[in-house]
Amino acid sequence: MNKGKKLYEGKAKIIYETKEKGLAIQHFKDDATAFNNKKKATVEGKGVLNNRISEHILNNLNQVGIKNHLVKRLNMREQLIKLVEIIPIEVIVRNIATGSLTKRLGVTDGTVLEKPLIEFCYKKDELDDPLIAKEHIFAFNWATKEEIKIIEEMTFRINDFMSGMFRGIGIKLVDFKLEFGRIWNNDQKEVILADEISPDTCRLWDIKSEKKLDKDRFRKDLGNIIQAYQEVARRLGIVPETTNVSEVNFKKPTSINIKKR
Ligand code: UDP
C-alpha cells in the first residue's frame, strides 16, 4: 500500500492518504506529549507498541460488533484505516475517579464510581480540549442527537467489553478516551469508532499492586514507560514479530530511552 501525501499530523500519529478511495494510513510516532503539549519527549518504541495494542483492541471490538476504522495493520508502525470525518469531540469514560476529574471536583483519587461516567470534551488544542455539556454539541452542530445517542450506546458497550478484557489479565480499566467519525455507507452517514485505544489513551492499573501501566508514567515522571506498555502487550498475549535493533525489543525490557525535546 503506497503512502500518499500527509493529510494530518497530530501529537502521536500521522495520517497519510492512499490511492484507494476512503482509505488512509495511520502512522504511530514515538512522540509523547502531556499537559496540552507543555511536556514533550520521544519514547523509543512507544509507536510500535501502541500500533499493536490498538490493533488488538480494535479487532476484538470489531468481533463483538463495534464498528471501527481499522482495516488491518500494515507493519510495525502503520495501519490501514477507513478515512472518517472526525467528530470534534473526545468522549471520556471513567470507572474510577482520578486525573482531571479529581482536580476539578475534589473527589478522592481512586474512588470507584457506582456506574461509568461519560464526559465530553471539545477537541481543540488551542483551547486545551475544554470539558463541554451535551447541549454545546447540539448548539454548535458538532454532532446530532441521534449520533450522540449512538456514541453513548457504543461507548458503554466498549467500556463493558474492555473492562472485562483487562480484568481477565489483571488490569483495572480506570478511564479512557474515545473518538468517533462518520463514513458514508450506501449514501448514508454512519458513526464508527476511530483513532486509537492504547496505554496513551487509557489509564490502566495493575489489579493487585495498583501500579500504573499507562501514560501517567510519562505525565508523572514515574519512569519505565516502555516496560509498562510492554507489560500490557505481554498480558494481552500480543506475539511480537521480528524486530530490528532500532525498534522495540518485546522480550527483554529495554532500558528506557527518553529524549527530551
Ligand atoms: N485522555 C486522552 N487524551 C486527551 C485527554 C484525555 O487520551 O486529550 C485520556 C487519558 O489518558 C485518561 C482519560 O482520557 O485515560 C481521562 O483523562 P483526564 O480527563 O483525567 O485528563 P488528564 O488527567 O490526562 O488531564
How far, rounded to the nearest angstrom, does the alpha carbon of residue 87 sit from its chain's CA centroid?
Answer: 15
Give the pLDDT score at 215: 98
Q: Report the chain's mean pLDDT, rounded to a whole number.
A: 93
Mutate to test the pocket of ligand 1, among 53, 201, 212 (most ligand atoms within 8 A of CB): 201
Give the pLDDT score at 63: 98
Q: What is the mean pLDDT of residues 125-143?
A: 97
Give the pLDDT score at 244: 45
- Ligand 1: distance of its center to the CA of 242 in Å? 32
More confident residue, 258 or 206: 206
Share of the chain above pLDDT 70, in %: 91
The backbone region for 137, taken as left when phi is positive above 0, alpha when psi lies in -120 to 50, beta otherwise, is: alpha
Q: What is the mean pLDDT of residues 128-154?
A: 98
Give the pLDDT score at 253: 40
Considering the entire predicted model, what is its pTM? 0.92
Give the pLDDT score at 185: 86
Please tell me if the domain spanning 6-84+225-248 has the same topology as the one spanning 87-206: no
Runs of H (alpha helix) within 71-144: 100-105, 134-139
6-84+225-248 domain in CATH 3.30.200.20?
yes
More confident residue, 242 or 221: 221
For residue 176, the ligand 1 atom closest to its alpha carbon is 15
CA–CA separation, 33 vs 13, rounded Å? 12
Q: What is the mean pLDDT of residues 79-89?
A: 98
pLDDT tens column, 36-68: 889 999 999 999 999 999 999 999 999 999 999
List the domain boundaries for the chain. 6-84+225-248, 87-206
DSSP letters spanning 196-226: --STTTEEEEETTT--B-STHHHHTT-S-HH
pLDDT tens column, 15-30: 999 999 999 999 999 9
pLDDT tens column, 238-261: 966 544 434 544 444 444 456 655
CA–CA separation, 216 vs 211, rounded Å? 10
Atom 25 of ligand 1, nearest CA residue = 100
Residue 251 DSSP one-character state: S
Q: What is the mean pLDDT of residues 200-221?
A: 98
What Å distances lie between residue 186 and 127, 183, 190, 195, CA to CA?
36, 10, 10, 23
Determine contact, residues 41/47, Cβ cutoff 8 Å: no
Give the pLDDT score at 252: 41
The architecture in CATH of the region 87-206 reads 2-Layer Sandwich (3.30)
